[in-house]
A = this chain, B = another copy of it.
Amino acid sequence: MFKIIKKDSGTKARLGLLTTKNGTIETPVFMPVGTIGTVKSLSPFEIYGEGFKIMLSNAYHLFLRPGTDVIEKFGSLRKFTGYGGSILTDSGGFQIFSLAKFAKIKNGGVEFMSHIDGETHFFTPERVIEIQKILDSDIMMQLDVFSGHGVKKERAEKDLDTTLRWAEKSIEAKKTGVFNRRTERKTGTGNEARYEAEKDNLLFLITQGNFFEDLREKSARIMSGLDADGYAIGGLAVGETKETMLEMLGISASNLPETKPRYIMGVGTPADIVKAVALGIDMFDCVLPTRNARNGFVFTSRGTVNIKNSVYKSETLPIDPECSCFCCKNFGAAYVRHAFMSREIFSQRLLTVHNLHFYQNLIMQIRKSIENGNFYEFYKNYD
Protein backbone atom coordinates (compact mmCIF):
# COMPACT_ATOMS: atom_id res chain seq x y z
CA MET A 1 0.00 0.00 0.00
CA PHE A 2 2.88 2.37 0.83
CA LYS A 3 6.31 1.74 -0.54
CA ILE A 4 9.33 3.87 0.28
CA ILE A 5 11.48 4.26 -2.84
CA LYS A 6 14.28 6.31 -1.42
CA LYS A 7 15.32 7.89 1.86
CA ASP A 8 17.28 11.12 1.98
CA SER A 9 20.58 10.88 3.84
CA GLY A 10 20.78 14.46 5.09
CA THR A 11 17.18 14.79 6.33
CA LYS A 12 14.21 12.56 7.12
CA ALA A 13 12.73 13.18 3.66
CA ARG A 14 11.65 10.20 1.61
CA LEU A 15 10.21 9.32 -1.78
CA GLY A 16 7.28 6.95 -1.74
CA LEU A 17 4.45 5.35 -3.67
CA LEU A 18 1.02 5.28 -2.08
CA THR A 19 -1.48 2.94 -3.69
CA THR A 20 -5.18 3.55 -3.23
CA LYS A 21 -8.07 1.74 -4.88
CA ASN A 22 -7.99 4.32 -7.67
CA GLY A 23 -4.34 4.79 -8.41
CA THR A 24 -0.77 5.02 -7.27
CA ILE A 25 0.40 8.38 -5.97
CA GLU A 26 4.00 9.55 -5.81
CA THR A 27 4.93 11.13 -2.49
CA PRO A 28 5.69 13.74 -1.27
CA VAL A 29 2.34 14.90 -2.62
CA PHE A 30 0.24 18.04 -2.38
CA MET A 31 -3.52 17.52 -2.41
CA PRO A 32 -5.64 20.45 -3.64
CA VAL A 33 -8.62 21.21 -1.41
CA GLY A 34 -12.02 20.43 -2.88
CA THR A 35 -14.06 20.64 0.31
CA ILE A 36 -17.45 19.97 -1.20
CA GLY A 37 -16.08 17.98 -4.12
CA THR A 38 -14.88 20.88 -6.28
CA VAL A 39 -11.52 22.63 -6.15
CA LYS A 40 -12.89 26.15 -6.24
CA SER A 41 -13.25 27.58 -9.78
CA LEU A 42 -11.68 24.57 -11.53
CA SER A 43 -13.04 21.51 -13.25
CA PRO A 44 -12.00 18.06 -12.01
CA PHE A 45 -10.33 17.52 -15.39
CA GLU A 46 -8.17 20.60 -14.91
CA ILE A 47 -7.09 19.34 -11.47
CA TYR A 48 -6.19 15.94 -12.81
CA GLY A 49 -4.58 17.49 -15.88
CA GLU A 50 -2.30 19.59 -13.67
CA GLY A 51 -0.92 16.31 -12.35
CA PHE A 52 -2.86 16.15 -9.09
CA LYS A 53 -3.71 12.48 -8.70
CA ILE A 54 -5.34 12.95 -5.30
CA MET A 55 -7.54 15.68 -3.88
CA LEU A 56 -9.05 16.41 -0.51
CA SER A 57 -12.73 16.62 0.28
CA ASN A 58 -14.63 16.88 3.55
CA ALA A 59 -17.07 14.31 4.90
CA TYR A 60 -18.65 16.81 7.31
CA HIS A 61 -19.47 19.27 4.52
CA LEU A 62 -20.69 16.57 2.15
CA PHE A 63 -22.84 14.96 4.86
CA LEU A 64 -24.54 18.32 5.45
CA ARG A 65 -24.82 19.14 1.74
CA PRO A 66 -25.80 17.49 -0.58
CA GLY A 67 -26.16 14.59 1.91
CA THR A 68 -24.72 11.10 1.65
CA ASP A 69 -27.98 9.76 0.16
CA VAL A 70 -27.41 11.89 -2.94
CA ILE A 71 -23.80 10.79 -3.41
CA GLU A 72 -24.77 7.18 -2.72
CA LYS A 73 -27.03 7.33 -5.78
CA PHE A 74 -23.97 8.11 -7.90
CA GLY A 75 -22.03 5.19 -6.39
CA SER A 76 -19.18 7.25 -4.97
CA LEU A 77 -17.93 10.78 -4.41
CA ARG A 78 -15.54 10.18 -7.27
CA LYS A 79 -18.38 9.41 -9.66
CA PHE A 80 -20.41 12.32 -8.28
CA THR A 81 -17.62 14.82 -8.95
CA GLY A 82 -16.16 13.30 -12.11
CA TYR A 83 -12.65 13.51 -10.67
CA GLY A 84 -10.36 10.85 -12.12
CA GLY A 85 -7.89 10.60 -9.25
CA SER A 86 -8.09 9.41 -5.65
CA ILE A 87 -9.99 11.29 -2.97
CA LEU A 88 -9.01 11.65 0.66
CA THR A 89 -11.89 12.80 2.82
CA ASP A 90 -11.29 14.56 6.06
CA SER A 91 -13.65 13.34 8.76
CA GLY A 92 -14.74 16.81 9.73
CA GLY A 93 -13.44 16.68 13.30
CA PHE A 94 -11.66 19.98 12.75
CA GLN A 95 -14.73 21.55 11.13
CA ILE A 96 -17.10 20.37 13.86
CA PHE A 97 -14.93 21.91 16.55
CA SER A 98 -14.17 25.11 14.63
CA LEU A 99 -17.04 25.82 12.20
CA ALA A 100 -20.16 24.34 13.80
CA LYS A 101 -22.27 26.59 16.04
CA PHE A 102 -21.71 24.28 19.00
CA ALA A 103 -20.07 20.90 19.53
CA LYS A 104 -20.59 18.75 22.62
CA ILE A 105 -18.79 15.48 23.23
CA LYS A 106 -21.11 12.89 24.79
CA ASN A 107 -22.21 9.27 24.54
CA GLY A 108 -19.25 8.15 22.45
CA GLY A 109 -19.63 10.88 19.88
CA VAL A 110 -20.16 14.57 19.32
CA GLU A 111 -23.37 16.52 19.00
CA PHE A 112 -23.08 19.63 16.85
CA MET A 113 -25.12 22.23 15.09
CA SER A 114 -24.73 22.56 11.30
CA HIS A 115 -23.05 25.80 10.25
CA ILE A 116 -25.38 25.86 7.25
CA ASP A 117 -28.90 25.52 8.64
CA GLY A 118 -28.51 25.22 12.41
CA GLU A 119 -29.81 21.66 12.51
CA THR A 120 -28.43 19.38 15.23
CA HIS A 121 -26.53 16.23 14.27
CA PHE A 122 -24.72 13.50 16.16
CA PHE A 123 -21.49 11.97 14.84
CA THR A 124 -19.76 8.93 16.30
CA PRO A 125 -16.41 7.67 15.00
CA GLU A 126 -18.32 4.69 13.61
CA ARG A 127 -20.83 6.85 11.79
CA VAL A 128 -18.09 8.96 10.24
CA ILE A 129 -16.45 5.81 8.83
CA GLU A 130 -19.83 4.70 7.52
CA ILE A 131 -20.29 8.08 5.79
CA GLN A 132 -16.87 7.81 4.19
CA LYS A 133 -17.63 4.27 3.02
CA ILE A 134 -20.70 5.62 1.30
CA LEU A 135 -18.54 8.34 -0.27
CA ASP A 136 -16.19 5.44 -1.12
CA SER A 137 -13.20 7.62 -0.17
CA ASP A 138 -9.83 6.28 -1.20
CA ILE A 139 -8.52 7.47 2.13
CA MET A 140 -10.87 7.86 5.08
CA MET A 141 -9.91 9.92 8.13
CA GLN A 142 -10.94 9.08 11.68
CA LEU A 143 -13.15 11.46 13.65
CA ASP A 144 -10.86 13.43 15.96
CA VAL A 145 -11.20 16.18 18.55
CA PHE A 146 -9.61 19.52 17.79
CA SER A 147 -8.87 21.50 20.97
CA GLY A 148 -7.69 24.79 19.50
CA HIS A 149 -4.64 26.86 20.29
CA GLY A 150 -4.11 28.04 23.86
CA VAL A 151 -6.08 25.44 25.83
CA LYS A 152 -4.82 24.10 29.16
CA LYS A 153 -2.99 20.79 29.24
CA GLU A 154 -5.77 19.06 31.18
CA ARG A 155 -8.24 19.87 28.43
CA ALA A 156 -5.76 18.94 25.69
CA GLU A 157 -5.13 15.53 27.29
CA LYS A 158 -8.83 14.84 27.76
CA ASP A 159 -9.46 15.64 24.10
CA LEU A 160 -6.49 13.52 23.06
CA ASP A 161 -7.81 10.57 25.06
CA THR A 162 -11.14 10.93 23.29
CA THR A 163 -9.33 11.04 19.92
CA LEU A 164 -7.38 7.90 20.88
CA ARG A 165 -10.57 6.05 21.88
CA TRP A 166 -12.18 7.15 18.62
CA ALA A 167 -9.12 5.93 16.69
CA GLU A 168 -9.68 2.39 17.96
CA LYS A 169 -13.38 2.60 17.26
CA SER A 170 -12.70 3.83 13.72
CA ILE A 171 -10.42 0.90 12.99
CA GLU A 172 -13.06 -1.46 14.32
CA ALA A 173 -15.75 0.28 12.27
CA LYS A 174 -13.68 0.02 9.13
CA LYS A 175 -13.54 -3.75 9.59
CA THR A 176 -17.02 -4.51 10.82
CA GLY A 177 -19.32 -1.61 10.11
CA VAL A 178 -22.21 -1.83 7.71
CA PHE A 179 -21.18 -1.03 4.21
CA ASN A 180 -23.88 1.15 2.78
CA ARG A 181 -23.13 1.20 -0.96
CA ARG A 182 -25.90 1.95 -3.49
CA THR A 183 -28.73 -0.55 -3.36
CA GLU A 184 -28.16 -2.45 -6.60
CA ARG A 185 -24.59 -3.24 -5.66
CA LYS A 186 -25.58 -4.24 -2.15
CA THR A 187 -28.26 -6.59 -3.44
CA GLY A 188 -26.18 -7.95 -6.27
CA THR A 189 -22.95 -8.86 -4.61
CA GLY A 190 -23.82 -8.30 -0.97
CA ASN A 191 -21.03 -9.65 1.19
CA GLU A 192 -18.37 -9.39 -1.43
CA ALA A 193 -19.05 -5.67 -1.87
CA ARG A 194 -18.62 -5.21 1.85
CA TYR A 195 -15.38 -7.14 1.85
CA GLU A 196 -14.01 -5.09 -1.02
CA ALA A 197 -14.70 -1.91 0.84
CA GLU A 198 -13.06 -3.19 3.99
CA LYS A 199 -9.94 -3.95 2.06
CA ASP A 200 -9.89 -0.97 -0.25
CA ASN A 201 -10.89 2.14 1.63
CA LEU A 202 -7.73 3.11 3.47
CA LEU A 203 -8.02 4.56 6.96
CA PHE A 204 -5.69 7.17 8.41
CA LEU A 205 -5.63 8.04 12.09
CA ILE A 206 -5.09 11.63 13.24
CA THR A 207 -2.46 12.24 15.88
CA GLN A 208 -3.17 15.16 18.20
CA GLY A 209 -1.68 16.36 21.49
CA ASN A 210 -2.12 20.08 21.05
CA PHE A 211 1.07 22.02 21.83
CA PHE A 212 2.41 19.72 24.54
CA GLU A 213 5.46 17.68 23.65
CA ASP A 214 4.57 14.69 25.83
CA LEU A 215 0.99 14.59 24.55
CA ARG A 216 2.18 14.74 20.93
CA GLU A 217 4.54 11.86 21.70
CA LYS A 218 1.87 9.90 23.58
CA SER A 219 -0.57 10.31 20.70
CA ALA A 220 1.89 9.17 18.05
CA ARG A 221 3.18 6.21 20.12
CA ILE A 222 -0.24 4.84 21.02
CA MET A 223 -1.57 5.25 17.51
CA SER A 224 1.50 3.57 16.05
CA GLY A 225 0.35 0.44 17.82
CA LEU A 226 -2.99 0.48 16.02
CA ASP A 227 -3.58 -1.06 12.62
CA ALA A 228 -3.85 2.11 10.50
CA ASP A 229 -2.96 2.57 6.83
CA GLY A 230 -1.42 5.94 7.49
CA TYR A 231 -1.15 8.76 10.00
CA ALA A 232 -2.10 12.38 9.90
CA ILE A 233 -0.77 15.07 12.17
CA GLY A 234 -3.66 17.31 13.13
CA GLY A 235 -4.27 20.41 15.17
CA LEU A 236 -1.33 22.39 13.80
CA ALA A 237 -1.10 25.67 11.88
CA VAL A 238 -4.01 27.06 13.86
CA GLY A 239 -2.45 30.25 15.25
CA GLU A 240 0.81 29.08 16.88
CA THR A 241 4.23 30.33 15.75
CA LYS A 242 6.07 28.62 12.91
CA GLU A 243 8.70 27.41 15.39
CA THR A 244 6.10 25.74 17.62
CA MET A 245 4.40 24.25 14.60
CA LEU A 246 7.60 22.70 13.30
CA GLU A 247 8.63 21.52 16.78
CA MET A 248 5.31 19.75 17.34
CA LEU A 249 5.36 18.37 13.83
CA GLY A 250 8.83 16.95 14.41
CA ILE A 251 7.77 15.20 17.62
CA SER A 252 4.67 13.70 16.02
CA ALA A 253 6.49 12.61 12.88
CA SER A 254 9.46 11.04 14.61
CA ASN A 255 7.20 8.90 16.80
CA LEU A 256 5.21 7.47 13.92
CA PRO A 257 6.12 4.24 12.11
CA GLU A 258 8.67 4.62 9.31
CA THR A 259 6.70 2.35 7.02
CA LYS A 260 3.44 4.30 6.95
CA PRO A 261 2.59 7.52 5.10
CA ARG A 262 2.57 10.69 7.18
CA TYR A 263 0.22 13.53 6.39
CA ILE A 264 0.31 17.01 7.91
CA MET A 265 -3.16 18.50 7.71
CA GLY A 266 -3.76 22.04 6.46
CA VAL A 267 -0.10 22.98 5.91
CA GLY A 268 1.09 25.21 4.39
CA THR A 269 3.29 27.80 2.71
CA PRO A 270 5.89 26.61 0.21
CA ALA A 271 8.60 27.03 2.90
CA ASP A 272 6.49 25.07 5.43
CA ILE A 273 6.20 22.23 2.95
CA VAL A 274 9.93 22.05 2.30
CA LYS A 275 10.62 22.01 6.05
CA ALA A 276 7.96 19.41 6.74
CA VAL A 277 9.34 17.13 4.01
CA ALA A 278 12.71 17.36 5.78
CA LEU A 279 10.93 16.12 8.93
CA GLY A 280 9.61 13.08 7.06
CA ILE A 281 6.16 14.26 5.97
CA ASP A 282 4.75 12.68 2.82
CA MET A 283 1.37 14.33 2.27
CA PHE A 284 0.04 17.88 2.34
CA ASP A 285 -3.15 19.80 1.81
CA CYS A 286 -3.75 23.49 2.15
CA VAL A 287 -6.21 26.12 0.95
CA LEU A 288 -3.37 28.62 0.53
CA PRO A 289 -2.75 28.32 -3.23
CA THR A 290 -6.46 28.31 -4.09
CA ARG A 291 -7.71 30.86 -1.53
CA ASN A 292 -4.81 33.21 -2.21
CA ALA A 293 -5.56 33.01 -5.92
CA ARG A 294 -9.13 34.11 -5.39
CA ASN A 295 -7.84 37.06 -3.39
CA GLY A 296 -5.29 38.02 -6.04
CA PHE A 297 -2.17 36.75 -4.28
CA VAL A 298 0.12 34.97 -6.67
CA PHE A 299 3.06 32.66 -6.01
CA THR A 300 5.95 33.32 -8.38
CA SER A 301 9.61 32.41 -8.69
CA ARG A 302 10.32 35.93 -7.34
CA GLY A 303 8.07 35.57 -4.28
CA THR A 304 4.41 36.29 -3.60
CA VAL A 305 2.89 39.21 -5.49
CA ASN A 306 -0.48 40.91 -5.56
CA ILE A 307 -2.09 40.97 -8.99
CA LYS A 308 -3.61 44.37 -8.14
CA ASN A 309 -0.12 45.88 -8.05
CA SER A 310 0.09 48.68 -10.59
CA VAL A 311 3.36 47.29 -12.02
CA TYR A 312 1.11 44.83 -13.86
CA LYS A 313 -1.21 47.51 -15.28
CA SER A 314 0.39 47.52 -18.75
CA GLU A 315 2.52 44.39 -18.48
CA THR A 316 2.34 42.35 -21.67
CA LEU A 317 4.56 39.59 -20.24
CA PRO A 318 2.98 36.81 -18.15
CA ILE A 319 2.78 37.14 -14.35
CA ASP A 320 5.76 34.81 -14.11
CA PRO A 321 7.67 34.57 -17.39
CA GLU A 322 9.38 31.40 -16.09
CA CYS A 323 6.08 29.63 -15.47
CA SER A 324 4.53 27.21 -17.94
CA CYS A 325 0.98 27.12 -16.53
CA PHE A 326 -2.15 27.74 -18.61
CA CYS A 327 -2.34 31.31 -17.31
CA CYS A 328 1.28 32.27 -17.98
CA LYS A 329 1.44 30.47 -21.32
CA ASN A 330 -1.60 32.29 -22.69
CA PHE A 331 -2.14 35.63 -20.98
CA GLY A 332 -0.20 38.79 -20.24
CA ALA A 333 -0.22 40.01 -16.63
CA ALA A 334 -2.16 43.16 -17.63
CA TYR A 335 -5.03 41.03 -18.94
CA VAL A 336 -5.17 38.94 -15.75
CA ARG A 337 -5.04 42.11 -13.64
CA HIS A 338 -7.76 43.75 -15.74
CA ALA A 339 -10.02 40.70 -15.39
CA PHE A 340 -9.33 40.58 -11.65
CA MET A 341 -10.02 44.31 -11.15
CA SER A 342 -13.24 43.87 -13.12
CA ARG A 343 -14.19 41.01 -10.75
CA GLU A 344 -14.29 38.49 -13.58
CA ILE A 345 -14.56 34.90 -12.34
CA PHE A 346 -12.17 33.89 -15.08
CA SER A 347 -9.31 35.74 -13.35
CA GLN A 348 -9.84 33.55 -10.29
CA ARG A 349 -9.58 30.48 -12.49
CA LEU A 350 -6.37 31.75 -14.05
CA LEU A 351 -4.76 32.57 -10.70
CA THR A 352 -5.93 29.29 -9.15
CA VAL A 353 -4.39 27.29 -11.97
CA HIS A 354 -1.21 29.33 -11.66
CA ASN A 355 -0.87 28.90 -7.89
CA LEU A 356 -1.62 25.18 -8.03
CA HIS A 357 0.92 24.81 -10.80
CA PHE A 358 3.42 26.58 -8.56
CA TYR A 359 2.73 24.11 -5.74
CA GLN A 360 2.92 21.16 -8.11
CA ASN A 361 6.20 22.48 -9.43
CA LEU A 362 7.54 22.83 -5.89
CA ILE A 363 6.59 19.22 -5.16
CA MET A 364 8.32 18.09 -8.36
CA GLN A 365 11.48 19.95 -7.35
CA ILE A 366 11.34 18.35 -3.90
CA ARG A 367 10.93 14.87 -5.38
CA LYS A 368 13.68 15.42 -7.89
CA SER A 369 16.13 16.67 -5.30
CA ILE A 370 15.43 13.67 -3.03
CA GLU A 371 15.92 11.41 -6.02
CA ASN A 372 19.19 13.14 -6.94
CA GLY A 373 20.42 13.11 -3.36
CA ASN A 374 20.59 16.89 -3.03
CA PHE A 375 17.42 17.62 -1.08
CA TYR A 376 19.44 18.90 1.87
CA GLU A 377 20.90 21.71 -0.27
CA PHE A 378 17.49 22.47 -1.73
CA TYR A 379 16.04 22.61 1.78
CA LYS A 380 18.88 24.79 3.14
CA ASN A 381 18.59 27.29 0.30
CA TYR A 382 14.78 27.52 0.33
CA ASP A 383 13.20 30.41 2.16
> Which A residues lie at the B interface, using CB under 8 A?
36-38, 40-43, 45, 65-66, 69-70, 73-74, 80-82, 313-314, 316, 330-332, 334-335, 337-339, 341-342, 344-349
Contact B69 A345 (CB under 8 A): no
Given the known interface contacts A42-B346, A335-B82, the answer about A316 and B37 at a Cβ–Cβ threshold of 8 Å is: no
Complex contacts, A330 vs chain B, CB 8 Å? 45, 82
Contact A335 B73 (CB under 8 A): no
A347 to chain B minimum Cβ distance, whole angstroms, is 8
Q: How far is the CA of A82 from the CA of B341 in the complex (A)?
A: 18
Q: How far is the CA of A342 from the CA of B70 in the complex (A)?
A: 15
Which 4 A-B residue pairings sit nearest by Cβ, starting from the closest? A66-B338, A41-B345, A36-B342, A38-B344
A210 to chain B minimum Cβ distance, whole angstroms, is 31
Chain B CB within 10 Å, residue with most, of A82, A314, A334, A346: A346
Contact B66 A331 (CB under 8 A): no
- Which of B65, B66, B345 sits near A348, CB closer than 8 Å? B345
Contact B346 A316 (CB under 8 A): no
Which residue of the partner chain B has the closest CB to A326? B43
Q: How far is the CA of A232 from the CA of B331 in the complex (A)?
A: 32
Q: How far is the CA of A80 from the CA of B332 in the complex (A)?
A: 7
Contact A81 B344 (CB under 8 A): no
Complex contacts, A69 vs chain B, CB 8 Å? 314
Contact B74 A338 (CB under 8 A): no
Contact B335 A80 (CB under 8 A): yes
Which residue of the partner chain B has the closest CB to A41? B345
Contact A346 B80 (CB under 8 A): no
Q: How far is the CA of A348 from the CA of B81 in the complex (A)?
A: 15
- Which of B42, B43, B70, B346 sits near A40, CB closer than 8 Å? B346
Contact B338 A70 (CB under 8 A): yes
Q: How far is the CA of A346 from the CA of B352 in the complex (A)?
A: 12
Contact B346 A314 (CB under 8 A): no
Contact A344 B70 (CB under 8 A): no
Which residue of the partner chain B has the closest CB to A335? B80
A311 to chain B minimum Cβ distance, whole angstroms, is 13
- Which of B74, B339, B345 sits near A334, CB closer than 8 Å? B74
Contact A339 B82 (CB under 8 A): no
Given the known interface contacts A73-B334, A335-B81, A345-B348, the answer about A66 and B36 at a Cβ–Cβ threshold of 8 Å is: no
Contact A342 B82 (CB under 8 A): no
Q: How far is the CA of A314 from the CA of B67 in the complex (A)?
A: 10
Q: How far is the CA of A331 from the CA of B174 in the complex (A)?
A: 30
Contact B41 A338 (CB under 8 A): no
Chain B CB within 10 Å, residue with most, of A70, A332, A349: A70
Complex contacts, A66 vs chain B, CB 8 Å? 313, 334, 337-338, 341
Contact A38 B339 (CB under 8 A): yes
Contact B314 A70 (CB under 8 A): yes
Contact B314 A73 (CB under 8 A): yes
**13 chain-A/chain-B pairs, Cβ below 8 angstroms:** A37-B338, A38-B339, A38-B347, A40-B346, A43-B346, A45-B330, A66-B338, A69-B314, A70-B334, A73-B316, A74-B316, A80-B338, A82-B335
Q: How far is the CA of A344 from the CA of B347 in the complex (A)?
A: 15
A341 to chain B minimum Cβ distance, whole angstroms, is 7
Contact B82 A338 (CB under 8 A): no
- Which of B37, B65, B73, B342 sits near A65, CB closer than 8 Å? B342
Complex contacts, A65 vs chain B, CB 8 Å? 338, 341-342
A181 to chain B minimum Cβ distance, whole angstroms, is 15
